[in-house]
Structure 1
Amino acid sequence: MATPEGLLVLEGRPTAQLIADHLREQIIQGVFRPGQQINESVLAGQLHTSRGPVREALQRLAQEGILVSLRNRGVFVPELSIDDIKEIYAVREAVESASADILLHTGQKQIDRTCQSLRDTLTEMAAQVELSDWQSLTRLDMKFHTSFVEGTRNSRLIRIYDTLVAESRMCILNLQVSYPRVDALVQEHQNLLDLLEAGDNEGLHQAISQHMRKAVDDLTATTPRE
């Protein structure tokens, strides 16, 4: 099993939360591969900690869906199927559509603040397109959509979306999928921003739906069928 690197004890943060955050990022980045088992005792030894906080961290990630706990077998990194991908993006569409409705009723000041955050991310995305750095593009893609949902200031929507973002990154990175439409990536996100700025609720809903369905098409086109 790969050894987590750079795990630092941060003052005021629970060890279990720190471990969970670190493991989540490693799983998302593909350090732990789909189907791989994560051994609690081995991980505790590598982290120089007791098994208690490691067990709690693994339980948290299993509750999020980032890991799968199989009775009498152990904890594993999930292998995402086409049906999983479709479910993830269908729920993302629902959450972002709900976020669009909320955002457009938050007032112009909050809309402007959210649009500025999205605009900053788009600038970063354009730079990474030039560099053809698709792993950075994945992170920025998710950052854009997270900022969109965070603009609602609805803590429960944001919490739900955090898990969806992690699963989306797993879909893209763990399946070793690059962006087949990288040249259109910035423009698609720019369109979402323009519609939000214009206050076009119907257009924004349609754009979100189209964006998610294209993503599913891209991902499932390169995913082996069961």
Structure 2
Amino acid sequence: MVGLQSISAIESRSTAVIIADQLREGIIAGTFESGDQINEAQLAERLEVSRGPVREALHRLVQEGLLEGRPNRGVFVKQVTHRDIAEVAEAREVIECAAAEVVVGHGAAERSRIADALVAATEPMADAVRRGDRAALRRADLGFHALLVAQGANRRLERAYRTLATEALIAMSHFDGWEPDDALIAEHVRLAELLRAGDMEAFHRVLHEHLAIDTIELHTHDDEPLRHGRVEA
């Protein structure tokens, strides 16, 4: 029926989720800056909704660590510190290594399939570099790592990583020294090829260096045995 084709799909997400998504994107894009207050009443008036879904949306983002509630003052965009950036990088390393441990346990054919998919995931990054589009590059970069985590076939790790990815995007936007270049693409390809080879030790060390930021101190792996993922009995 032609008439049915003109009807749009019903929005299945709740109003609170839609509001949270818009606020999250605004924080990532820098529309809301660190320390900005998010006024519940003003936001509800601006969106022409009741304060209930706005309050729920703000609560979601507080739980995600993007907003913080201050007693008797309200809700504010969380200020990003060097410690925040370090913690995000360290948590990402743990989760990505856990997923990589699963990948290297596969046979050569499956590792090669996954590595090919990861190399293909660098193409949007290369396109963003050519255009000098930092925002697109940040998202493509996180897309590569999210694809890696998905190979671990652990839904809880994936869910945790989605929150980390949002924080990582915000951290990247606050780090002025982060430049789009071809070297970044090469680092990601190297990670994919180490998984193809099944070299977990080298992958872990390269990932650690990849996530490190010169001006922010992370934990070190110098001269120490590496642990990746779960420790089996």
TM superposition score normalised by structure 1: 0.85
| Distance in 2, Cα, partners of 1:33 & 1:21 | 16
Match of 1:21 in 2: 21
**Conserved? CA contact 1:28–1:166, under 8 Å:** yes
| Distance in 2, Cα, partners of 1:42 & 1:32 | 14
Q: 1:118 to 1:48 in 2, by over 3 A?
A: same
**Conserved? CA contact 1:172–1:178, under 8 Å:** no
Shift of 1:106: 5.0
Q: Residue 122 of structure 2: SS of its match in structure 1?
A: helix
**Conserved? CA contact 2:129–2:180, under 8 Å:** no
Match of 1:124 in 2: 124
Moved more, 103-112 or 51-60: 103-112
More helix by share: 1
Match of 2:91 in 1: 91
**Conserved? CA contact 2:80–2:171, under 8 Å:** yes
RMSD of aligned residue pairs (Cα, Å): 2.1
| Distance in 2, Cα, partners of 1:72 & 1:208 | 42
Match of 2:227 in 1: none
Matched, 1:196 2:215: no
Shift of 1:109: 6.5
| Distance in 2, Cα, partners of 1:107 & 1:47 | 52
Match of 1:137 in 2: 137
| Distance in 2, Cα, partners of 1:209 & 1:67 | 28
Shift of 1:185: 0.4
Q: 1:19 to 1:112 in 2, by over 3 A?
A: farther
Match of 1:209 in 2: 208
Q: Residue 217 of structure 1: SS of its match in structure 2?
A: coil
Question: How do residues 1-226 of structure 1 correspond to structure 2 at under 5 angstroms?
Answer: 11-105=11-105, 111-173=111-173, 175=174, 177=176, 179-180=178-179, 182-213=181-212, 216-217=213-214, 220=216
Shift of 1:176: 5.6
Match of 2:5 in 1: none
Amino acid at match of 1:149: V
Shift of 1:56: 0.4
| Distance in 2, Cα, partners of 1:39 & 1:69 | 11
Shift of 1:115: 2.9
Structure with greater Cα Rg:
2
Shift of 1:120: 2.4
TM superposition score normalised by structure 2: 0.82
| Distance in 2, Cα, partners of 1:137 & 1:93 | 20
| Distance in 2, Cα, partners of 1:181 & 1:123 | 14
Shift of 1:113: 4.9
Shift of 1:124: 1.4
| Distance in 2, Cα, partners of 1:11 & 1:180 | 37
| Distance in 2, Cα, partners of 1:14 & 1:107 | 43
| Distance in 1, Cα, partners of 2:152 & 2:106 | 7
Q: 1:19 to 1:108 in 2, by over 3 A?
A: farther
Shift of 1:37: 0.4
Shift of 1:105: 2.8
Cα deviation per residue 1:82-112 (whole Å; 9 max; x = unaligned)?
1111111111111111111122235567645
Q: Residue 127 of structure 1: SS of its match in structure 2?
A: helix
Q: 1:106 to 1:160 in 2, by over 3 A?
A: farther
Moved more, 85-94 or 113-122: 113-122
Q: 1:176 to 1:202 in 2, by over 3 A?
A: closer
Shift of 1:10: 5.2
| Distance in 2, Cα, partners of 1:203 & 1:164 | 23
Structure 1 unaligned blocks of 5 or more:
1-8, 222-226
